[in-house]
Structure 1
Amino acid sequence: MKPVWKWILSIIAFLLLAAAGATWYLTAHWKPILETKIKELVMQSSDSLYTLSYDDLDLNITLGHITIKNLKITPDTAVYRQLEQAKKAADNRYAIGVKLFKVNGVKIRDIIFNKELSVKSIKLDQPDFNIVNTYHAYNDTISNEPKKSFYEKMKDNLQAIAVEDIYLDSINMKYTQVQQGVKQDYTLRKVNLHVQDILVDSLSSADSSRFYHTKMIAISIPGFEYITPDKFYKASFQELKINTKTRDILLTKVIYRPTMSKPAFYRLKKQATSYIELAFDTLRMDNFDFRSLLNNKAIASRKTLLKGGKVSIYSDKHYPKFPIVKVGVSPHQQLLKVKTLLRLDTILVKNLDLAYTEMSGKFHREGTISFNDMEGVLTNVTNDSAALAKDKWMRSKLAAKVMNQGLLQANFGFDMTSKNGYHTYSGSISPMPATAFNTIIRPLLNVELSSGQIQKVRFDMQGTDYRNWGDFVFDYSGLKINLLKKPGDDDSKKSMKIVSYLVNQFFVNESNPDDKGIHHVAKVNYQRVPEHTFLKTVWQSLLAGIKQCVGLSKEREDKLMGAADTAKSTISSTKEKTKTAAEKTEKFIKGIFKKDKKVDKEDSK
C-alpha cells in the first residue's frame, strides 16, 4: 500500500474518532441541561402541580434520539390543595407512568438556542394513566381572569412545538370520579392512540383545520363495561373508534341490560317496573363537532346511525305498581331537561326490532307485541335553544312490521317550545290478519280473535299533556271474538262459547263498513289519565278510535250493556255456570271497552 493511502486512512480514522469524541462530550454535557429544561417546562406549564422523574435518560444528539425509562409525572397533592383553596384547581388531575418513552428526530440545538422543539415521532409503550376527577362548582362559572393557553404557559421556555406523530400503544387508564366523598372507578385497557401533526405556536390555536393543535387524533378502545351505581344495569361495547380528522365516532355491539335475571330483578325492585334490554350492532356519529365537545361539553353531530339490534321491554304485573303523575315528563320534554347540550341533526334507524312483553298478574301468562325491521329517521333532535329558535319541531318518521306482518308507518312531530307538550302523530297500517294480535290479547285478556282481516288503519292525531284528539279510520271484515275459559276451569268451556256468540251478535260489528253499509269513522277526544306514560296515552287514544269504529259509541255501549243484562238473565235460568260466565262477560266488556261516565270536555291546545 502506498504511503498516500495510509495518510488518507489515518485522516479518516482521526475524523471519526474526533466526531465520536465530540458526540460523547456533547451528550455528557448537554444531558443535564436537557434534563433541567424538561423538568422546568413541566413545572412552569402546570403551575408547579406536576413533577417529572425517571430512572434513566439516553440521549443521542447525532441521531436526535431520546429514550427514557420508567418515566413518571406525579401530581403534588399539597399544591393541588392550595389550588383548591384559591379556587384555581382543575377538576381533573393526572398521574402518568410510562415504561419506555422514545423520541426520534429531535433537534436538541433548536431547543437550547432557538426555543423550538421539532420532533419526528414520539412513542409511549404501555403507558398507565390515572385520572382523578373532583367536581368544583367554580369551574362551571365564568372567570373574570383570562385563561392562559398552553402556548402562553410555555412561551418563556419554548416558542414552538412541532411533532409529526405520537403513538401510545396498549394504554391502561383508570378514571376515578369523586362526588361528595364517594369514589367510583372506571377502567380502560389496551387502548391505542395515534396523534398526527401537532403544532403549538402563536398562531396554531386560531387554525380552524386543527383540533386542539392537531390535524388528527385517532383512538381505538377494544372494549368497556360499566355498572350503574344501583347495580341493576350494566352498559358495554365491543369497540369504540374516534377520529377527529374524519370527524366520526363508531361504537360496535353496544349493550345495556340488567345485571341479573328477571326473578331476581323483581324480587329486589318489589314493583311492576320495566325490565329493559338494549342491544345495537352499530352506533355511528358522522360530522361530529369535537370542538363543541371540548369548548362547551356539547354533543353535536350532523348524522347519527343506529343500525341492527333489539329493544326488549318486559313488565311483570304480579308486583304492585306505584303510579306517579307523568304529565310533563314525556320523552321530548325530558330531552329539554338534559343538562348536556345535545344537537343531533339527523338520526337514521335501520333494522331494529322492538318487543314489549307483559306477564299477566291475573292469568299468569306472558303476552308479547312486536315491531320488526324498524327503519326511519328522526330530525332536529336537540335541546339547544338557539337551534329551536330556527326550527321548533323535532320530527320522526318510522316504519315497522307489526307482529312481523302488517306495515306500520308512523310520523310524530313535537313542538319543543310548547308549554303544554303539544305534539302530533299520524300514520297507517297495511292489510294484515287480526288474529296476529292474539299473541298479546290471549295471554293478557283471556280472549282471542278467532277470525278477522284488517283492511286499513289510518290516524291523524294531535295531543297535549292533557288530552289527545283527531280522526281514526279502522276498516276490517269477518271479525269474531272468542272468550276463553279461565285457566284450569274446564267446566266453563261450553258456557264461554255461548257468551262468545252473544258478544259477537250484540257487542261488535263484524265488519266496517258494517252489514248496513255504514262506514264508522272515529272522532277521538281522549282525556289523558295523568298517571299514564306518553306511549300509553297514545295507545289509549287509538283504542278509543277502535272502539268507535267497531260500533261502540257511548250511546250504543249503554244500550248493549242493557242487552248484556237481558242475555245474562236468560242464560241464568238454564244454567248457573252460564250465569257466572255472563257476569264475566259483562266485566270483560266494562274492562276492555270501559265507558266514560263523564263527557269529555274540550281543552285548549
Structure 2
Amino acid sequence: MKKDEIVRKKGMARWPLIITLIIVLLVAGGYYAYQKYLAENRWKPLLQAELKALVLKTTDSLYHIEYSDFDLNINTGSATLTDFKLVPDTNVYNKLISLKKAPDNLFTLSVKKLSISNLGAVKAYKEKILNISSISIENPSLTVVNKRFKFNDTVKVGKPKSPYELIKNTFKQLHIDSIALKDISLNYINKNNAVEKHTALKHLNINISDVVIDSLSDKDTSRFYYTKGIDITIKDYKIATPDSLYKAAIKQIYFSTSKRVIYLDGVSFVPRYNKTDFYLKTHEAAGDIYNLKFNRIAINNIDLQRFLRDQMLYAGTLNIANGSVQIYSNNAYKGVKSIKIGKDPEQSLQNVALDMQLKRINIKNTLISYSESDATSGYTGVITFNHTNATILNVTNDDDVKKVNPYMIARVNTRFMDAGDLNVNFKFNLASNAGAFNYNGTLGKFDGRKLDRLVKPLALVHVQSADIQKLHFNVDASNYAGKGALEFYYKNLNVQLLKKVEGKAELQTQGFISKLANTLIIEDNNPDKKGIFRPGPIDIKRDPRVSFFSFLYKALLDGLKPSVGFDKKTEGKVNKAIVKVNNLVDKFKAYKANRQLKKEERQQARKAKKEAKMQRDSTKNK
C-alpha cells in the first residue's frame, strides 16, 4: 500500500479518540477558564469565548462548536455538556483545499449529553495535569465525509498533528480512566467515485480504557493509540448486497484491541426473495442461490496497526462454529447463464477489496448442502456434508505473501450424506491465472442406497442395493478442465432406471431396460469375481457456466461411470439400445392399441348386426 494511502486512513482509524479529545479539551478548558476568571465573577461569558477560541485553535479554524448548556461543579469535579455540536466551516474547508492543506476526512458531530466525573480541577489549573475518572458520551451522531486528496502525502505535508501536540499548550499531561461512547450513529460518505457511497452504522458502542497523553506516551508500545484498550460493539448490523439479491445481517460485532479479537455473532447471508422470484430478478439466469448462517465467527491475534491504520486484515486464526452453508441451483431456468471462469472460491478471495492474510481458518460442526432441481424429472437432488470440520491454511490475497508461498491448503473431514466418513484435501494455486487446484480424498464404507437423494432426481437412477467399500479420488482441475483418477470399491450393485411420464407425478420404472442394464452392462462388484479391478479415469472439460461445487461432483461422476462398467463407449451403445427398445415398445404398444381398437370395432359390428336381426324378427311377427 502506498504511503499517502496509509496517511489518509490514519484519521479514520483513531477518530473516537480524536473526537473525545476535542470534547475533553472543551470541558477541561472550561474548568481552566472558570478558575482563571472566578475572581472576576463573570466567568460564563469569558468561558464561552475561551472554549470557542480553544476549538478554533486546535482545529486550525476548521470547526466551531455549539451547545445548549454547560454545567460545572467545582466541588464534585463533574461537568455536563448538553446538545453539543461540532460543525465544520465549509468556507475554511474549501480554502484549505485550494491551499492543498485540507484533510481527507471531514467530521460533523452531535452529542445529546456528555458527562465527566472526578475531574481534578485544581491540579489541572496549577500543574497543567488533567486527571479524569470517567467520561460518558450519550447518543453521539457522527458523519464522516471522506474525499482523498493527492496532496496528502507524507513527503509533502509531513505527519499529522499528534494528540499531544493538540493539548500541549493547555496541559502537559492528560489521563482518563475510562471513556464510554453509547449508542453511536455513524454515517460514512465516500466521495472518491463518480457516485457517492453511503454506509450507516447504528447502535454502535465504544469503550476506551486508561488513556494517557503526554510527551512520552506515543513511545509506549504496550498502548494502542495512547490507550490500554478499545472495545467496540455494534448491534443489529444489516446491509443489502449491491445487486439487492441478498441481505447480510450480524446480531452483534465485538472488537477488542486489548484482546486483539473480533467476534461476529448471529451471522447470516440470505436471499431476499424466494427461489422463483430470485430467478425472475436475475432474468431467469440459472445460477447458484446461497443461504449462509453461522452462530459465531471469531478472528484472533489481529495485527491491529494494519487493521485500523491501513484497513488490512492480518490475523492468526479465524474460527467458525455451528454453521450452515446451503447452495441451490435450478437447471429449469434457461435464461443467460453467467460465466463462472475466475469465480472459484480462491479466485474470489483475490478480488476482495480488503488486503488480508489469515494464517489459519478452523471450521467446526458445519452443515454443507448442495441442491439442484432438474427440469426433466421435476425433482431436486441433494448432496450433504454433515458435521463438517475443516482447516484452511494461508488464506491470503497479498502478492508479497503469495511470492513466498502461493498455495492455500484446505483439509476437510465430514459425513457424506450423513452415511460415510469423507476426507478431502484441496491445494489451490493462488498465483494461477487459470485457477489451478488439486483435490483428493477418500470416502469410507456406507450404504449406497443413501445416494438415491442425489442420483434419483438428477440421473433418473434408483439404487436398489450397493455396499460401498471405499472410494478414492485425485483430480487436477482448473477453470477449464479436470483430469485424474478414481478408485471405486463396491459390492452388490443393483439399480433401476427411471423415466418421467407426462401426466404422472411419480417417476416411472423402466423394468425391461433396468433388467437389461443390470444383466448386461452394470457390474455387480468392483473388483469383479475374477479379481479384476476397473479404474475410473477422469477427463472432463468444464462448462464455463458451471459453478465450482457442481464441477467437483460432475468430475467425480465422470470417473464413477467407467468404474461400474458404464464407460463412454458403453454409454453410447446403451443410449442407442434404449432408443431402439423404446421404439419397439412404442410400436408394440401401438400394435396392441390397434388390435384392441379393431376388436372393439368387431364387437360393435356384431352387436349392431344382432340388434338389426332382432328388429327384423320383431317386424315379421307383427
Q: Same fold (TM over 0.5)?
A: yes
Structure 2 residue corresponding to 1:133, chosen from 135, 140, 145: 145
Give the equivalent residue in structure 1 for 2:88: 75
Change (3 A) 1:479 1:354: same
How far did residue 394 of structure 1 move?
0.9
> 2:528 aligns to what SS in structure 1?
coil
> 1:438 aligns to what SS in structure 2?
helix
* d(CA) in 2 for partners of 1:499, 1:523: 26
How far did residue 398 of structure 1 move?
1.1
Change (3 A) 1:428 1:153: same
> 1:396 aligns to what SS in structure 2?
strand
Give the equivalent residue in structure 1 for 2:462: 448
Give the equivalent residue in structure 1 for 2:373: 359
2:447 aligned with 1:433, yes or no? yes
Give the equivalent residue in structure 1 for 2:222: 209
Change (3 A) 1:565 1:71: closer
2:348 aligned with 1:334, yes or no? yes
User: Retained in 1: the 8 A contact 2:482–2:542?
Assistant: yes
* d(CA) in 2 for partners of 1:160, 1:416: 50
Tell me the amino acid that sits aligned with residue 159 of structure 2.
Answer: K
User: Retained in 1: the 8 A contact 2:103–2:152?
Assistant: no
Tell me the amino acid that sits aligned with residue 411 of structure 2.
Answer: K
User: Retained in 2: the 8 A contact 1:369–1:440?
Assistant: yes
How far did residue 312 of structure 1 move?
1.5
Change (3 A) 1:225 1:324: closer
How far did residue 461 of structure 1 move?
2.3
2:436 aligned with 1:422, yes or no? yes
> 1:251 aligns to what SS in structure 2?
strand
> 1:105 aligns to what SS in structure 2?
strand
* d(CA) in 2 for partners of 1:251, 1:464: 33
How far did residue 559 of structure 1 move?
5.7
Structure 1 residue corresponding to 2:66, chosen from 45, 49, 53: 53
Change (3 A) 1:73 1:470: same
User: Retained in 2: the 8 A contact 1:471–1:523?
Assistant: yes
TM score, norm. by length of structure 2: 0.81
User: Retained in 2: the 8 A contact 1:27–1:59?
Assistant: no
Structure 2 residue corresponding to 1:169, chosen from 182, 188, 194: 182
Tell me the amino acid that sits aligned with residue 71 of structure 1.
Answer: F
Give the equivalent residue in structure 1 for 2:620: none
How far did residue 537 of structure 1 move?
3.0
Give the equivalent residue in structure 2 for 1:144: 156
Change (3 A) 1:577 1:473: farther
Residues 142-165 of structure 1, C-alpha deviation per residue, up to 9 Å, x if partnerless? 653212232334434443322111
2:524 aligned with 1:510, yes or no? yes
Tell me the amino acid that sits aligned with residue 439 of structure 1.
Answer: R
Give the unaligned 5+ runs of structure 1: 1-21, 579-605
Change (3 A) 1:517 1:43: same
Residues 182-218 of structure 1, C-alpha deviation per residue, up to 9 Å, x if partnerless? 45352412x3321101122233223221111111111
User: Retained in 2: the 8 A contact 1:353–1:370?
Assistant: yes
Change (3 A) 1:464 1:358: closer
Structure 1 residue corresponding to 2:110, chosen from 84, 87, 97: 97
Matches within 5 A, 1:281-296: 281-296=295-310
Residues 437-477 of structure 1, C-alpha deviation per residue, up to 9 Å, x if partnerless? 21122223333212212111111222344433233111111
Give the equivalent residue in structure 2 for 1:303: 317
User: Retained in 1: the 8 A contact 2:561–2:567?
Assistant: yes
Give the equivalent residue in structure 2 for 1:199: 212
User: Retained in 2: the 8 A contact 1:31–1:59?
Assistant: no
Tell me the amino acid that sits aligned with residue 272 of structure 2.
Answer: T
2:476 aligned with 1:476, yes or no? no
User: Retained in 2: the 8 A contact 1:91–1:139?
Assistant: no
User: Retained in 2: the 8 A contact 1:273–1:321?
Assistant: no
> 2:221 aligns to what SS in structure 1?
coil
* d(CA) in 2 for partners of 1:431, 1:34: 82
* d(CA) in 2 for partners of 1:268, 1:457: 40
Give the equivalent residue in structure 2 for 1:410: 424
> 1:544 aligns to what SS in structure 2?
helix
Change (3 A) 1:577 1:39: farther
How far did residue 296 of structure 1 move?
1.5
Change (3 A) 1:42 1:511: farther
User: Retained in 1: the 8 A contact 2:474–2:484?
Assistant: yes
Tell me the amino acid that sits aligned with residue 381 of structure 2.
Answer: G
Give the equivalent residue in structure 1 for 2:327: 313
How far did residue 281 of structure 1 move?
0.6
Tell me the amino acid that sits aligned with residue 195 of structure 1.
Answer: I
* d(CA) in 2 for partners of 1:98, 1:38: 17
TM score, norm. by length of structure 1: 0.83
User: Retained in 1: the 8 A contact 2:325–2:367?
Assistant: yes
Structure 1 residue corresponding to 2:282, chosen from 259, 269, 275: 269
Residues 94-117 of structure 1, C-alpha deviation per residue, up to 9 Å, x if partnerless? 322223222223233554555443
2:399 aligned with 1:381, yes or no? no
Give the equivalent residue in structure 1 for 2:273: 260
Give the equivalent residue in structure 2 for 1:600: none
2:544 aligned with 1:525, yes or no? no
* d(CA) in 2 for partners of 1:573, 1:516: 41
Give the equivalent residue in structure 1 for 2:514: 500
Residues 32-86 of structure 1, C-alpha deviation per residue, up to 9 Å, x if partnerless? 5654454334323333222122222222334332222222212223333334444
How far did residue 479 of structure 1 move?
1.5
2:227 aligned with 1:227, yes or no? no
Residues 362-387 of structure 1, C-alpha deviation per residue, up to 9 Å, x if partnerless? 23222222111111111110112233
Residues 219-276 of structure 1, C-alpha deviation per residue, up to 9 Å, x if partnerless? 2223222123433221111122221111111111111112222222222222223222
Q: What is the identity percentage for the equivalent residue pairs of Structure 1 and Structure 2?
A: 29
Tell me the amino acid that sits aligned with residue 196 of structure 1.
Answer: S
User: Retained in 2: the 8 A contact 1:495–1:577?
Assistant: no
Tell me the amino acid that sits aligned with residue 140 of structure 2.
Answer: D
2:127 aligned with 1:120, yes or no? no
* d(CA) in 2 for partners of 1:516, 1:576: 44
Tell me the amino acid that sits aligned with residue 130 of structure 1.
Answer: L
> 2:61 aligns to what SS in structure 1?
coil
> 1:238 aligns to what SS in structure 2?
strand
Give the equivalent residue in structure 2 for 1:547: 561
Give the unaligned 5+ runs of structure 2: 1-34, 593-622
* d(CA) in 2 for partners of 1:377, 1:254: 20
Matches within 5 A, 1:565-604: 574-575=588-589
Count of residues paired in the alignment: 556
* d(CA) in 1 for partners of 2:68, 2:212: 29
Change (3 A) 1:395 1:407: same
Give the equivalent residue in structure 2 for 1:369: 383
* d(CA) in 2 for partners of 1:385, 1:258: 33
Tell me the amino acid that sits aligned with residue 257 of structure 2.
Answer: T
Tell me the amino acid that sits aligned with residue 562 of structure 2.
Answer: Q
Residues 402-433 of structure 1, C-alpha deviation per residue, up to 9 Å, x if partnerless? 22111221111112223443322111111112
* d(CA) in 1 for partners of 2:480, 2:58: 58
Tell me the amino acid that sits aligned with residue 129 of structure 1.
Answer: S
* d(CA) in 2 for partners of 1:487, 1:559: 23
How far did residue 91 of structure 1 move?
4.3
How far did residue 570 of structure 1 move?
6.7
* d(CA) in 2 for partners of 1:25, 1:168: 31
How far did residue 293 of structure 1 move?
1.1
